[in-house]
Structure 1
């Protein structure tokens, strides 16, 4: 292989069966490309000049974002490769992002979060990635009725996927970066004028009583009692094993959660939501009695709570909600709330009783009381006011 003079950097010759041939080399979409120029004669200086000029023209078109590989080298294998990238849709890049996430070993719940976001981005699926504009993203935001947090989560997935399109040279700039969703969405107050966090809607004592009385069997009553009086997450309750229940010392150890892998159609046991989620919960009397009674039902097995009909381990929060929570609440006549509100109920009960906030945070699986102030500030303030009135 021969190379040109300093004047012809990036131009070289290669000996083929048919004879010596001129080549040019350049970088496109972070890839080094070498292409033959079979119509030129390596013996002629003018052809070397032409090859070098062609290389400079290609590099200029790449810089301007106007280079089409097939226009210059229609028979090159790389032309087909880059053409496939240029015709790829937004959905193609989103799906690739999930595929790479699986290769990186991301958790099942994270992947399912990505897939949920991708489904919500369906208005953009058909658009070629190369044609996606900030205006398209802006319109998606304006047409949405979800919360700002949800929209930001969705755009985070889209932004990461479109970064790959930028790397591939399909887009000169990521169209997501210039769109600020808060500028186009109605402001949603997380905290009401009464100081209540919109995500927190705890059950009152009479409602809890009605729900427990509506349970169709004792195992259901035991499970919901533990949810209300330990603050354990539904996915953590599904993973709770008898080896983690200490009835003598009146405590349970929470270290795992069960989630449903919708791709592989099976339950997956993983670690808790956060590292601080690994915790030991002190059992109040009602929860303790519920677990003692449950011991007589499932104590011979591995898991504390099972699906009553199948007699198998719960497959996660979704199954608990569908098969147990919804039917029981419907029967009880209590206004429907998500099962997670049982956890909020537990927190507000402890706060109302004046328990130490660091201890409450520990029982809930938080690093400290900051999360409590963020979600339950109104209840903390209300309790403090009661103490102030008593001290007068």
Structure 2
């Protein structure tokens, strides 16, 4: 074909590669059309493509990534595409979190957030605005806490769209959940209140669990120690000091993965009551010789995957059989705390047993119980035996 002087303005040929040159945001850009053979027809196509790009630049509609997704210039202009949808940025953020090595439980939580945001997935990121978010928020039936978690995940993902130049600001930052979900927030607050089991309910639960001895041992130990379900899942036989009647708590199991306790103070040594020791002695028949984790799921013969597995597979069924009003497994911990408070135990001792830095957390959660027993300072723990105190 002819020499380069006969080519349309902005179109050049180097070897067998057609290039187009244009200015975007004050930067002179040259991009090769390496997938096009050097023919007269393709040169004309390059000229039309260049005109299209220049037209979009003039109307502020040009997205570099749409035309040149592999260009090195994306480091300057960002990888955002005008055609990108909310789901694309949610997926990108998830991948980034996995590469950062966030805990498996966090990743699982983020995936749940993505699923909850499904009504927003197909919306163009460039079209996302507060009105759309308010409409979505008003239609969701989740608790306010869950809504905040979902929006926090979305905000972090959309921050990247702002970086890519698809949005001037993050619209999620303008949404306040409390403003639109006040009624649900108040209901949610009441559902999180301390709601311990009575001695009669404890007895009914343990009697119902006796049908599955390993369930019974697990629940008896939970009521007698105040340990979190995630900590019970990670408890090993080597953590038990039979001579000193103590157990060392240093790990928790979340989504099938062993990790550290919830807080630094969570690493602790718990004094075992006769009821707790009896539960361990009974459990010996099932898992002691295996030398690993103390509590197993009797249906699978393996260690519990996590707190949620205990709740779904054993706890819900047991409460139904016992005829006891449903409360979360965490209420076994509240029951341990309030039972000891009602006896007037030493609060510093109780805080240490539960893995708190000090008694301040006890005042925050169990203030009404503390006010009823002000002045009592017994150190000895309460014994929960067959539901009696």
Q: TM-score range by the shorter chain?
A: 0.7 to 0.9
- Across the aligned residues of Structure 1 and Structure 2, the Cα RMSD in angstroms comes to 3.6
Q: Which residue of 2 is the match for residue 353 of structure 1?
A: 343
State the Cα distance separating 1:345 from its structure 2 match: 0.9
CA contact (8 A) 1:138 1:181 kept: no
Q: Deviations over 1:149-177 (max 9, x none)?
A: 22221111010011011111111111111
Q: How many residues are paired up? A: 342
2:285 pairs with one of 296, 305, 326: 296
2:177 pairs with one of 176, 181, 195: 181
1:117 has 2:113 as partner: yes
State the Cα distance separating 1:204 from its structure 2 match: 0.4
State the Cα distance separating 1:190 from its structure 2 match: 7.3
CA contact (8 A) 2:63 2:82 kept: no
1:327 has 2:321 as partner: no
Distance (whole Å) between structure 2 residues aligned to residue 75 and residue 96 of structure 1: 19
Distance (whole Å) between structure 2 residues aligned to residue 205 and residue 17 of structure 1: 87
1:306 pairs with one of 288, 292, 296: 296
Distance (whole Å) between structure 2 residues aligned to residue 151 and residue 343 of structure 1: 26
State the Cα distance separating 1:384 from its structure 2 match: 2.2
State the Cα distance separating 1:180 from its structure 2 match: 1.3
State the Cα distance separating 1:24 from its structure 2 match: 5.2
Consecutive unaligned residues of structure 2, counting only runs of 5 or more, are: 1-9, 34-52, 378-389
Q: Which residue of 2 is the match for residue 372 of structure 1?
A: 362
State the Cα distance separating 1:74 from its structure 2 match: 6.0
Distance (whole Å) between structure 1 residues aligned to residue 69 and residue 308 of structure 2: 51
Q: Which residue of 2 is the match for residue 275 of structure 1?
A: 264
Q: TM-score, normalised by structure 1?
A: 0.77
Distance (whole Å) between structure 2 residues aligned to residue 273 and residue 84 of structure 1: 38
Distance (whole Å) between structure 1 residues aligned to residue 150 and residue 56 of structure 2: 37
2:201 pairs with one of 199, 204, 207: 207
Please give the secondary structure, in 2, of the residue aligned with 1:335. coil
Inter-CA distance 222–183: structure 2 relative to 1 (3 Å threshold): same
Distance (whole Å) between structure 2 residues aligned to residue 256 and residue 309 of structure 1: 24
Q: Deviations over 1:18-68 (max 9, x none)?
A: 99x99556569xxx7723699xxxxxxxxxxxxxxxx9999886xxxx331
Q: Which residue of 1 is the match for residue 38 of structure 2?
A: none
State the Cα distance separating 1:259 from its structure 2 match: 2.5
Please give the secondary structure, in 2, of the residue aligned with 1:299. helix
Consecutive unaligned residues of structure 1, counting only runs of 5 or more, are: 1-11, 39-54, 261-266, 388-392
State the Cα distance separating 1:85 from its structure 2 match: 2.2
Distance (whole Å) between structure 1 residues aligned to residue 249 and residue 103 of structure 2: 19
1:221 has 2:216 as partner: yes
1:101 has 2:97 as partner: yes
